[in-house]
A and B are shown apart, each in its own frame.
Chain A
Amino acid sequence: MPDRPLFLERASFHRRRLGDAARVLPVLAMLLILVPVWWVPSSVSFAAGAVWIFTLWGLLVIAVWALHRALLRAEAATMRASEAVPEADDAASAPVGGGPDAL
């Protein structure tokens, strides 16, 4: 497509890569949950299995939390970057911490 940029700035590039991570995460989660049961069902069926799966589950929750946090920040950064370009002069002259970003 000719009207899409071929290369991105740092902020947008970073956000896209985080988006890639968000796509990979469910696949990774599925593999981690399915493969051990196919592989060694007898060792993940009982107490050890409970420890394994709840640990994995807790890590997944934390991973999604961290990823969403990073993605929201990256989106905000991209937004700021795209806004800052036309208003570079204003941003430079504004007092530090005076903008809405400081809140």
Chain B
Amino acid sequence: MPFESLVATCLAYVVLMFGVAYAADRAAARGHVRWLDHPLVYTLSLSVYCSAWTFYGAVGYASRSGLEFLTIYLGPTIVFTGAWWGLRRLVRVARMHHVTSVADLISARFGKSNQLAGLVTLIAVIASTPYIALQLQSVRLSFEAFATDAPNGAATDGNAFGGTGLWVAAGLALFTILFGTRNLAADERHHGVVTAIALEAIVKLLAFIALGVFVVWGLADGPLDMLDRIARASADPQVAQGWMLQPDRWTALILVSAAAILTLPRMFQVMVVEAADEERLHVAGWAFPAYLFAMSLFVLPIAVMGREMLPASANPDLYVLTLPAAAGQDLLALLVFLGGFSAATSMVVVCAIAVATMVSNHWLVPVWLALRRIPAGDETDDLRGFVLNARRLAILAVMAAGWVYHEASGGTAALAAMGLVAFTGMAQVLPAMVGGLLWRGANRKGAYAGIGTGFVLWMALLFLPSVGIGGALPVPAGTDPWTAAVMLALVLNTLAFIGVSIFGFPDPVERLQGLSFVSAVEPIRHSRMMRGNDRAEPLLAMARRVWGADAALRYFQAEARAQGKSGYLPDLTPRFLTRLERRLAGSIGSATAHAMIDRVAGGVALTVSDLLQVADEAQRAKEETQRLEAARAELVRTAGQLREANDKLTALSVQKDAFLGQISHELRTPMTSVRAFSEILKDPSLTEAERTRFAGIIHDEAGRLTRLLDDLLDLSVLESRRAQLTIGVANLHDLISRALSAASATRPERGFLIDRDLPSEHLAVITDVDRLLQVLINVISNARKYCDAVHPVLIIRVRRPEGGGAVIDIVDNGSGIDSGRQSLIFEKFARLNDPARAGGAGLGLAICREIMLNLGGEISYLPGQGGAAFRIVLPARPPAAAEEARQA
């Protein structure tokens, strides 16, 4: 294809990219980010990993080393299978801290140290410059290869294309500056760039798959034939030797490419910085490996077919272009050319943005701020403008460096190795990064030691040899020198990082950050940051300098409103200051933001005791909660007890009222008869016999009254436990016999059959004999009164329990007492049947219970004995006697 029309095609393609980026930026500005935020756009933007090095170089790599080229894709695949717990966490933490680059992540984690970020930036710059040069070279080579009909004729006419690299570099710099430094937003996202890259990813993939399909089904005869050809190609002993996989190299390459997907500046930019949240990794977790799968599926077939069809002198790195051209498929070749062009440009753009952000945030801005030591409040200049210009300058510098490197190296084959060199360089950041995210003990000195060691070894063993300075590592025969160098650098790096971390004691800011990163929680706010409110205005002025007046005012107003204040000046609470600092960090990096806030708000250094106070406050709050919990439980218990006491008092009050009512009633009945009959006695016409009868009735009723009052007095004495006991010894058999004969006066017409076990009754008891007799008479009389059997039987059983004393059971064969009323029978005035039949005041059993309590025993109702059954339990000695015995 003529050179001019090729240039025209490229220009048209570039215009398309500019248009897409512009449209996406405009849509984002209007808030139409729905499809821009789609996980698929995110996944496609990750394909910036497949640069021109992989697009063209993979085929060359495969034709030289067989399946080994797959390692570059398998490493990221393994990382992405762990997307759910690994990458999601990385993105969440990075978003939480508004991290702007991989250097910023390391710096924020290790105490917001700008020097550390500067070191990481240095590695990134050294590693990226040749890598960008490699992309420029691939574009130049593809031009050379494609613009002539004879694939190899261009080499003699290289000058015609000498300007290609410069033009490409200039065009990409323009694109990057236009869409990469449009704003200085707090979240550092570039919708235009990402969308353009997503489109380029589709072009890349389509081009490669189209070529692959053409090779497998057009040139070869389907997949089986292709496998056959691969087998045939590898039958050549020279090829077989190159293709044989070396396990150590295989492992090291997978390790390095897995590290690269995390640490390469451009990958961190699209994967972490441009991600709105971690949710999109749910799709990217499988879709990105699938993309890599599709990109590498046809690499080996193309390589084998190129070997077969093209002359041995053809450059395998350009098989993807020369193969379709040689087969006469010019349109396919053009598509592939555009695919390669896409791969190169997208990589350069993103890499330039990422490295320029690092350079401006960690090199230019801190230096500029340090050079101008003017009190913060008086600064009226526009920091925002400076940061943006610094970034533009950095982009130009990165591009220029890449072009100069490209020109200086003269496009030698040495560049081809630069991809891996860049990978291994950035991989030196991995131990500090992963350690910082997983291990709270990792500290800044350890990070310095690890990254420093790795950097020096990488320079000496990998970078400098790759540009022709120094030689490869002297290793024993049979070992791969590259693998040895990579493993040596990474292992010593990790050991230095861990070793120094173990013996270090990090400063408080670092420890707070460590906690926040490892636990993936919001940074703890510490009370020392509380300062006077007169500093709010200078802070607003500072934010205005970074974000521009409108954005700063909007943010401050929103914060003030969140605190419930009107106006633009929120209170300088620790919460607000922490949030402001992290938001500023999104624009200028965490270290610079931290330094600026400290300078404006009159920084007070955080001390270890502040940290302990933070921990203390949390501990105190926890203890306070536990204390309140305990107090609450105590209150609940007390309330329960109070409720019970109240219930008891209410019941007692009701009982007292009932008792008064009962006793009034009991006293009133005999009094009424006494009054009525004494009225009658006044009548003079009464006969002597009548007078005698009425006087008799009055006498009886008075006697009943006296008995009732005696009982009441007796009960009250017994209840107060002041009853005088006359303790004596008696034979229980005699007592029972006396009780039976005394009780026989009650309802003498009832013939009771008495069932006694005479031998066991001969027990000596020490007690108040008269009182016990009273109880026995009462219980037996009750039985006589209430037993309703036709042939009444009274069973009396006595036994001596273990501890001495006696147990007397008195059981009749009547219908007994309902279970519901058994508890009532010992209460005062508790007459179960009609009062007339009982003929007493209903105090008998109440008195019995009191007597037994006074004697130290008890009387209880035994349910389930086939009739009314009472058990009287006597102790070995009455309480008073027991007391005397103890005293004696």
Query: Judging by beta carbons under 8 Å apart, are B247 and A26 in contact?
Result: no
A62 to B286, CA, bound (A): 7
**Interface code B67-92, partner A: CB below 8 Å = 1, 0 otherwise?**
10010001001111111111000000
Nearest to B290 among chain A residues (CB) is A61
Query: Judging by beta carbons under 8 Å apart, are B70 and A45 in contact?
Result: no
User: Which residues of chain B come closer than 8 Å to A47, judged between CB atoms?
Assistant: 227-228, 230-231, 234
Q: How many inter-chain residue pairs (CB < 8 Å) link A and B?
A: 101
Nearest to A51 among chain B residues (CB) is B227
Distance from A24 Cβ to chain B, minimum over Cβ atoms (Å): 10
User: Which residues of chain A come closer than 8 Å to B245, judged between CB atoms?
Assistant: 37, 41, 44-45, 49
**Interface code B58-71, partner A: CB below 8 Å = 1, 0 otherwise?**
00000000110010
A15 to B74, CA, bound (A): 28
Nearest to A34 among chain B residues (CB) is B251
Q: Select one of A19, A30, A51, A53 contacting B85, CB under 8 A.
A: A19
Nearest to B299 among chain A residues (CB) is A50
User: Which residues of chain A come closer than 8 Å to B243, judged between CB atoms?
Assistant: 45-46
Nearest to B227 among chain A residues (CB) is A47
Q: Select one of A22, A38, A67 contacting B247, CB under 8 A.
A: A38
A45 to B235, CA, bound (A): 12
Q: Does A84 contact B (CB under 8 A)?
A: no
Q: Select one of B70, B78, B228 contacting A30, CB under 8 A.
A: B78
Q: Does A42 contact B (CB under 8 A)?
A: yes
A72 to B285, CA, bound (A): 13
Secondary structure at the A interface, as helix, strand, loop or mixed, is helix
Query: Judging by beta carbons under 8 Å apart, are B77 and A60 in contact?
Result: yes
Query: Judging by beta carbons under 8 Å apart, are B293 and A64 in contact?
Result: no
Q: Does B250 contact A (CB under 8 A)?
A: yes
Q: Does B323 contact A (CB under 8 A)?
A: no
Nearest to B88 among chain A residues (CB) is A22
User: Which residues of chain B come closer than 8 Å to A57, judged between CB atoms?
Assistant: 74, 77, 289, 293
> Which residues from 75 to 118 on chain B have a C-beta closer than 8 Å to any C-beta of chain A?
77-86
Q: Does A25 contact B (CB under 8 A)?
A: yes
Q: Select one of B74, B79, B289 contacting A33, CB under 8 A.
A: B74
User: Which residues of chain A come closer than 8 Å to B11, judged between CB atoms?
Assistant: none
Nearest to A52 among chain B residues (CB) is B67
Query: Judging by beta carbons under 8 Å apart, are A53 and B81 in contact?
Result: no
Nearest to B283 among chain A residues (CB) is A68
A33 to B254, CA, bound (A): 9
Q: Select one of A26, A53, A65 contacting B286, CB under 8 A.
A: A65
Secondary structure at the B interface, as helix, strand, loop or mixed, is helix
Distance from A67 Cβ to chain B, minimum over Cβ atoms (Å): 7
User: Which residues of chain B come closer than 8 Å to A97, judged between CB atoms?
Assistant: none
Total interface residues on A, using CB and 8 Å?
34
A42 to B66, CA, bound (A): 12
Nearest to B79 among chain A residues (CB) is A26
Q: Does B297 contact A (CB under 8 A)?
A: yes
Q: Does B246 contact A (CB under 8 A)?
A: yes
Q: Select one of A22, A25, A53, A67 contacting B67, CB under 8 A.
A: A53
Query: Judging by beta carbons under 8 Å apart, are B67 and A50 in contact?
Result: yes
User: Which residues of chain A come closer than 8 Å to B873, judged between CB atoms?
Assistant: none
Query: Judging by beta carbons under 8 Å apart, are A29 and B78 in contact?
Result: yes
A46 to B234, CA, bound (A): 7
Query: Judging by beta carbons under 8 Å apart, are A45 and B67 in contact?
Result: yes
> Which residues from 1 to 54 on chain A have a C-beta closer than 8 Å to any C-beta of chain B?
19, 22-23, 25-26, 29-30, 33-34, 37-38, 41-42, 44-47, 49-51, 53-54
A49 to B244, CA, bound (A): 11
Nearest to B84 among chain A residues (CB) is A22
Given the contacts A45-B243, A46-B231, A46-B243, A26 and B250 also touching, CB distance less than 8 Å: no
Query: Judging by beta carbons under 8 Å apart, are B85 and A41 in contact?
Result: no
Distance from A10 Cβ to chain B, minimum over Cβ atoms (Å): 21
Q: Select one of A22, A33, A44, A46 contacting B230, CB under 8 A.
A: A46
Given the contacts A46-B234, A47-B230, A68-B285, A58 and B78 also touching, CB distance less than 8 Å: no
Query: Judging by beta carbons under 8 Å apart, are B66 and A64 in contact?
Result: no
Given the contacts A33-B254, A64-B289, A42 and B244 also touching, CB distance less than 8 Å: yes
User: Which residues of chain A come closer than 8 Å to B240, judged between CB atoms?
Assistant: 45-46
A50 to B296, CA, bound (A): 11
Query: Judging by beta carbons under 8 Å apart, are A26 and B227 in contact?
Result: no
> Which residues from 618 to 643 on chain B have a C-beta closer than 8 Å to any C-beta of chain A?
none
Query: Judging by beta carbons under 8 Å apart, are A22 and B82 in contact?
Result: yes
Nearest to A62 among chain B residues (CB) is B286
Q: Select one of A25, A41, A44 contacting B82, CB under 8 A.
A: A25
> Which residues from 226 to 240 on chain B have a C-beta closer than 8 Å to any C-beta of chain A?
227-228, 230-231, 234, 240
Distance from A51 Cβ to chain B, minimum over Cβ atoms (Å): 7
Distance from A64 Cβ to chain B, minimum over Cβ atoms (Å): 4
A103 to B244, CA, bound (A): 54
A64 to B85, CA, bound (A): 12
Nearest to A23 among chain B residues (CB) is B85
User: Which residues of chain B come closer than 8 Å to A41, judged between CB atoms?
Assistant: 244-247
Query: Judging by beta carbons under 8 Å apart, are B66 and A46 in contact?
Result: yes
A19 to B85, CA, bound (A): 8
Q: Does B300 contact A (CB under 8 A)?
A: yes
Query: Judging by beta carbons under 8 Å apart, are B227 and A50 in contact?
Result: yes
User: Which residues of chain A come closer than 8 Å to B286, judged between CB atoms?
Assistant: 61-62, 64-65, 68
Q: Select one of A19, A26, A42 contacting B81, CB under 8 A.
A: A26
Query: Judging by beta carbons under 8 Å apart, are B67 and A60 in contact?
Result: no
Query: Judging by beta carbons under 8 Å apart, are B250 and A64 in contact?
Result: no
User: Which residues of chain A come closer than 8 Å to B80, judged between CB atoms?
Assistant: 64
A34 to B75, CA, bound (A): 11
Distance from A46 Cβ to chain B, minimum over Cβ atoms (Å): 4
> Which residues from 287 to 330 on chain B have a C-beta closer than 8 Å to any C-beta of chain A?
289-290, 293, 297, 300
A23, A68, A72 — which one has the most chain B CB atoms within 10 A of its CB? A68
Query: Judging by beta carbons under 8 Å apart, are B77 and A45 in contact?
Result: no
A23 to B246, CA, bound (A): 28
A25 to B84, CA, bound (A): 10
Besides A47-B231, A68-B286, 10 new A-B residue pairs in contact (Cβ under 8 A), listed by A number:
A22-B84, A29-B81, A30-B254, A41-B246, A41-B247, A44-B245, A49-B67, A49-B245, A65-B286, A71-B84
Complex A-B: 10 CB contacts under 8 Å: A38-B247, A41-B245, A44-B67, A45-B243, A50-B227, A54-B297, A64-B81, A64-B289, A65-B286, A68-B285
